[in-house]
Structure 1
Amino acid sequence: QVAREVREKLSELEKDLPADVKIDTIFDSSEFIQGSIGNLTSTLMYAGIFVILVVLFFLGRWRATFIVIITIPISLIVAFIYLFISGNSINIISLSSLSIAIGMVVDDAIVVLENITKHIEKGSKPREAAIYATNEVWLAVIVTTLTIVAVFFPLTFVKGLTGVMFRQLGMIVTLTTITSTLAAITLTPTLSSLMLRLRTKKKKVKKLSYDNTIRRFLDSFDGFYERTLRWAITHKTFVLIVSILVFVGSIMLMSRVGTEFMPESDQSSMSATIELQTGTRVNETKNLARRIDRLLMEKFPEIDLISTSSGSDKDANFATMFSSTGTNTILYSMSLVDIEERDRTVWDIAQAFRNELDMFPEIVNYQVTTSESGMGVIMSNNIEVEVYGYDIVETNNVAKELADKMSRIAGATDIQISRDASKPELQIVMDQDKMIMHGLNTATVSSAIKNRIDGMLATRLREFGDEYDVIVRYKEESRNSISDVENIPVRNMQGQIIRLGEIAEVKEFWSPPNIEHKRKERIVYVTATPHKRPLGDIAADIQQTIDELDVPSGVSVEISGAIEDQMESFADLGLLMVLSLVLVYLVMASQFESLRMPFIIMFSIPFAFSGVALALFITDTTLSLVAGIGAIMLIGIVVKNAIVLVDYINLMRDRGLELYEAVARSGRSRLRPVLMTSLTTILAMLPLAMSVGEGSELWSPMGISVIGGLIFSTLVTLVLVPVVYIIFARRGERNKKRGSMEDYKFLESGAVN
């Protein structure tokens, strides 16, 4: 809103400007935000369409599909009410959270409705089917919701940068999931009893009808899965060995996945600071700037607008607002065309610009940076090395040696040292005795020097309602040498003109560098920008370089910057993961009244992480904070399917079925709900993972990790979990028999005595 009002005001101002004057916007972060929101809105829409198609594919009834889909708007309304009450806006984080939640809110309704349709197809009346079917699965539905809440709700309490970015995600998913569960066990049975009807079998079925194509395929797949499951539960050792090998292989694969703090986002803008030799004349700096301007226009068609400031510390424009300037400095701020209109990313363009700058021998230092932010939070992936020490010479030497070695590390670009070099200055030393003799004081002399060198406001020119300052000072050729400064005239109170050289000494002087402090210690920063290589790999090489340095006593070197943020965030993720696992276990243990049953269900979680490792490796995606949150989300998501399956096995055993038969029948009966809930989440995440628009780089790692983990864990749930269930169940039966035999022997011995 602020940016929109600013643009409107600029449009009004432009009307009053001359015809040859135009106002252009160099950088506008709201454009990236609006583009990201538009992209996420499309993602949300596609996710909803995919969910509808999955439900329709498996159920084959428009009415049944409507009953399931009705939970989506209900849950979204609750989410928007929360955003309104909490004062949050519709932003990148909230829309991403809704995109994630949309595939999960239908899961409970799918489980309930699928069971209701099974009862109806077996001949039950819709009302009776709604009651009995819901009664069979309501406990599993509630437990699955509690596991989701156990994973997402703790996100609302996370502090720091992780909390800022994911607190809203935790609350939105928690509220929408609870709402969808309430709808699944109340609204879904009610609508099913009113809208569903028993399907009458037609004598003639069209070849391309649902019953003759999709239903027949699903029935065949059910049979194939049941045969596979019966084979697996009779070859338990083989299944376990293969599973262990797959898990170990995926863990080894994870070591080949790079790490970074946050995914970089292409915001179609970049800036550059170019430094020439200290003391370079303004004309030389401006001439080089014109050559670079021509180079940019000829070789970089992706650049839309360029703002340049060169060779002066008096220019006040956007490029100089946040940077140090000088006669030897050139500042660039560049706006690129939209990402859809160019073939190269902003990082490729920045690297190409660096390569071109290397061809200019007069450039002693440069830095090309891209605008970076993540989910509305400004951040940088730069690596910083902190050099502490009191001695300026020693810390400078260590920083220079470190910068030289870092420049040889693959992927490390824009190596910068924060401490500036000494700069040439003219120092004017007043002779107090001579000033008193000529009737002058320091203030009068200083004012005279400032007016000649810096200039003074002579008057203001008014034209067509506008005012212009008129500054008067010496020409450049009259203020460039020591003799020029010595010849500056100073007028005393008697009106006499005294030459500055008669009352002061003008000498050349090298000013000391800037000195920064951190924790009350002098510090020098050496920074590097990663390019086409994971942050973690570059940081590891830099740490090795630091370890090999011969650091003098009194000087210490530490690595920080984005890698420090990454380590802190990953530590938070590790703690959050442990907390989620404990909460999920406690929830299931309390509901199943068993310590063993939750362990069986949670057996699928490690293999979800295997899927994450495989997906990140195949797509060449780094493990970042966003991907890590996706992995933690899987803890709550993957156990949902296992809970539905294990709970139904328990129900079948309670009804008198033998162990192996109960597992086989339950597997076939729960196959479609498991596949439906998995596919709705996977396909809802697919637009998030594959999006290529603005802001897509921020959230696609989460989509990739969830999709990979869910695909892998679904296979494990359908095969490995039943095998593990049988192993534990048989051991429990043997222990029960052993206990019964001991009781019998004890009673028998008591009777004999």
Structure 2
Amino acid sequence: MKLYESSVKNPVGTSLIFIGIVLIGILFYRQLPIDLYPEMDLNIISVMTTYSGAGADDVEANVTRPLEDALNSTENLKELTSQSRDGMSLIILQFDYGVPIDNIMNDVRDKIEMIYSFLPEGTEKPIIMKFSSDMIPVMTLSATAKESSDALYKILDDQVANPLNRIPGVGTVSVTGAPQREIQVNIIPEKLEGYNLSLEQVAQVIAAENTNIPAGNFDIGSQTYMLRLEGEFDDSRELNNIIVGNSQGHAIYLRDVAVVKDTVENRVQENYTNGQRSASIVVQKQSGANTVAIAQAVKEQIPLLQKNLPPDIKIETVMDTSDHIIASINSLLETIILALIIVGLVVLFFLGRWRATIIIMLAIPISLIGSFIYLYLTGSSLNIIS
């Protein structure tokens, strides 16, 4: 009661307090991250492992099962499911809610490190990912091309993905659906057999030649320089001159037993936009970043990037999460305005006093603006739930 009495007896002080709440609330609102959903971890971890050239049965027996045996002992594991396909193993781990997912990630990573050396040769390092609301893309762009389709991946990666990655708040920009460059070494079996060479020998030589090797350091005065022997090929034609063996004192070059072809990969699945083959550019944000601000920055960059692309490449927006967020905010504003009008009319009708009506109508937006202070101080975001 004393609080109410002091507020009524000191109208100036009370007014200043509410004005302060409004000003601070507006200030914090401008700094609040805006997102579609609140930030949350789903306590689900995926482990994806690639074993190129192996069938589904081989992947199941030699990759999936050893990984399952190692991961089954992870603490707080609720459910483990796996899929084995040609050349790929996917394991989904679901954990109890409330456990620290980052600690579990470290535990999963340690177990995979221990088992990795026992996996078949040629198995790539397992990719570990945790599922969270941050994985929802901010935007998905589509790029179509005609003459430049074979080089589309490199063009998009260099001239679109890299500039977009530099936008503040952007986490990753990935290009999918575009055929990537592929250097094919097509072995001629008859010639390989004639020189008494094996496929494994040729593969080992190519891998050894196409490698950069650190060669130590050397000092000049107070400066230390790192030496590196560059062995990676810049031109696919250089592969033809690799010596893969010897026959009667003569060197056997790769061109003697194989045909090197600089081409693009054959894709099993293709992306299409409006009936045209296309590639997708997926923009994801960093944790806690402002989705609306990032989407706006990406939209501003697209016309600038389009000018530097070949004329046959066209970029358009397929999905924009910020549209849903802005629509939700606009809907909220419309609801608040409607509520103010209805409350004002009802109070005015029953009380018949303008002063009381204005005070009650002001209480609604002040309470809403005050909630921005709470969201900011607790590190929460402004989303469709909050």
Which TM bucket (shorter chain)?
0.5 to 0.7
1:578 equivalent to 2:353? Answer: no
Distance 2:81 2:3 in 1: 66
User: Counterparts of 1:568 and 1:367 in 2: how far apart (Å)?
Assistant: 35
Q: Is the 8 A contact 2:150 2:264 kept in 1?
A: no
Of the three residues 73, 94, 97, the one matched with 1:339 is 97
1:255 is matched with: 30
2:360 aligns with 601
Residue 271 of structure 1 pairs with residue 28 of structure 2: no
* Counterpart residue identity of residue 303, structure 1: L
Change (3 A) 1:405 1:533: farther
TM-score normalized with structure 1 length: 0.32
Q: Per the alignment, in what secondary structure is the counterpart of residue 380 of structure 2?
A: coil
Q: Which has the higher strand share?
A: 2
Distance (whole Å) between structure 1 residues aligned to residue 103 and residue 6 of structure 2: 53
Deviation at 1:251, TM superposition (A): 0.6
Q: Distance in 1 between matches of 2:171 and 2:112?
A: 13
Partner secondary structure for residue 590 of structure 1: helix
- 2:35–2:383 contact (8 Å) kept in structure 1: yes
Q: CA deviation at 1:558?
A: 2.9
Is residue 226 from structure 1 mapped to residue 5 from structure 2 by the alignment? Answer: yes
Q: Distance in 1 between matches of 2:126 and 2:156?
A: 15
Structure 1 match to 2:234: none
- Separation in 1 of the partners of 2:264 and 2:153? 20
Q: State how far apart, in whole Å, the 2-side matches of 1:358 and 1:542 are.
A: 38
Structure 2 distance, partners of 1:357, 1:607, is 53
**2: CA distance, partners of 1:544 / 1:252:** 25
State the distance in 2 between where 1:531 and 1:286 align.
37
Q: Is the 8 A contact 2:165 2:173 kept in 1?
A: yes
- Cα separation, 1, equivalents of 2:166 and 2:61: 31
Task: Please tell me the residue identity of whatever aligns with 1:580.
Answer: A
1:400 maps onto 2:169 in alignment = no
Counting only pairs closer than 5 Å after superposition, residues 50-449 of structure 1 correspond to structure 2 as 222-223=1-2, 225-230=4-9, 232-233=10-11, 236=12, 239-264=14-39, 266-275=41-50, 279-282=52-55, 287=62, 289=64, 292-293=67-68, 296=71, 300-310=74-84, 312=85, 326-327=86-87, 329-336=88-95, 338-340=96-98, 342=99, 344-345=100-101, 349=104, 363=124, 368=129, 370=131, 381-391=136-146, 392-393=149-150, 395-401=152-158, 402-404=160-162, 416-419=174-177, 421=179
* Structure 2: distance between partners of 1:352 and 1:539: 35
Taking the aligned partners of 1:301 and 1:579, their CA distance within structure 2 comes to 52
Letter in 2 for 1:255: R
Residue-by-residue CA offset, 1:573-612 (whole Å, 9 max, x unaligned):
2333333333333333333446664223212223212321
Long gaps (5+) in structure 2: 117-121, 185-262
Q: Which runs of 5+ in 1 are unaligned?
A: 1-221, 313-325, 373-378, 426-507, 628-753
**Change in 2 beyond 3 A, CA 1:552/1:302:** farther
Provide, for residues 561-581 of structure 1, a one-character-per-residue CA deviation record: whole Å limited to 9, x for no partner: 533332332232233333333
2:335, 2:273 → 1: CA distance? 31
Which residue pairs with 1:622 in the alignment?
Answer: 381
Matches within 5 A, 1:621-700: 621-627=380-386
Partner of 1:101: none
1:335-384 per-position Cα deviation (integer Å, ceiling 9, x unaligned) = 22x224x3x13x77569868999999964995735387xxxxxx973333
Deviations 1:657-688 (A, max 9, x none): xxxxxxxxxxxxxxxxxxxxxxxxxxxxxxxx
One-letter amino acid of the structure 1 residue matched with residue 324 of structure 2: D
Q: Distance in 2 between matches of 1:388 and 1:228?
A: 61
Contact 1:384 1:525 in 2 (8 A): no
Identity between Structure 1 and Structure 2 (%): 15
User: Relative to structure 1, is the Cα distance of residues 246 and 223 closer, same or farther in structure 2, using a 3 angstrom cutoff?
Assistant: closer
Q: Which amino acid aligns with 2:272?
A: H
Deviation at 1:248, TM superposition (A): 1.7
Cα distance change on mapping 1:578 and 1:562 into 2, 3 Å: same
Q: How much does 1:624 deviate? A: 0.8
Give, in angstroms, the shift of residue 261 of structure 1: 0.6
Asked if the contact 2:288–2:381 (Cα under 8 Å) also holds between the matched residues in 1, the reply is no
Q: What is the one-letter code of the residue matched to 1:562?
A: T
What is the identity, as a one-letter code, of the residue corresponding to 2:270?
A: I
The one-letter amino acid paired with 1:368 is M
CA distance in 1, matches of 2:362, 2:331: 24
Please state whether the residue corresponding to 1:332 is helix, strand or coil. Answer: strand
Q: Aligned letter for 1:419?
A: G
Q: Distance in 2 between matches of 1:399 and 1:356?
A: 36
Q: Distance in 2 between matches of 1:411 and 1:352?
A: 29
SS in 2 for 1:339: coil
| Distance of aligned partners of 1:611 and 1:563 in 2 relative to their CA distance in 1, 3 Å threshold | same
In structure 2, distance between residues paired with 1:409 and 1:416: 14
Structure 2 distance, partners of 1:405, 1:252, is 31
Q: Do the aligned partners of residues 398 and 598 (structure 1) sit closer, same or farther apart at CA in structure 2, a change above 3 Å counting?
A: farther
Any idea what the Cα deviations from partners look like across 1:251-295, whole Å, max 9, x if unmatched? 11112221211125555434344446xx54455897555675566
What code does the residue aligned with 2:5 have?
Answer: E
Q: How does 1:7-86 map to 2 (within 5 A)?
A: none
Q: Which residue of 1 aligns with 2:187?
A: none
Output the CA distance in 1 between the equivalents of 2:140 and 2:345: 44
* Contact 1:308 1:330 (8 Å CA) reproduced: yes
Q: 1:302 to 1:364 in 2, by over 3 A?
A: same
Q: Aligned pair 1:511/2:270, yes or no?
A: no
2:348 aligns to what SS in structure 1? helix
For residues 254 and 364 of structure 1, the distance between their equivalents in structure 2, rounded to whole angstroms, comes to: 43
Cα distance change of structure 1 residues 419 and 251 upon mapping to structure 2, 3 Å threshold: same
The aligned amino acid for 1:570 is: I
Say what the alpha-carbon RMSD is for the aligned residues: 4.6
Residue number in structure 2 paired with 1:9: none
Q: Which has the higher helix share?
A: 1
Tell me the secondary structure at the aligned position of residue 568 of structure 1. helix
- 1:527 paired with 2:282, answer yes
Paired residue secondary structure (2:372): helix
Note the C-alpha offset of 1:623: 0.8
What's the CA shift for 1:406? 5.8
Shift in alpha-carbon separation, 1:559–1:363, aligned structure 2, 3 A: farther
Q: Secondary structure at the match of 2:328?
A: helix
Give the distance between the partners of 1:350 and 1:362, measured in 2 at CA.
Answer: 21
- The separation in 2 between residues aligned to 1:291 and 1:562, in whole angstroms, is 40
Could you tell me the TM-score, scaled by structure 2's length?
0.58
Q: Are residue 555 (structure 1) and residue 314 (structure 2) matched?
A: yes
Partner deviation per Cα, 1:2-23 (whole Å, 9 max, x = no partner): xxxxxxxxxxxxxxxxxxxxxx
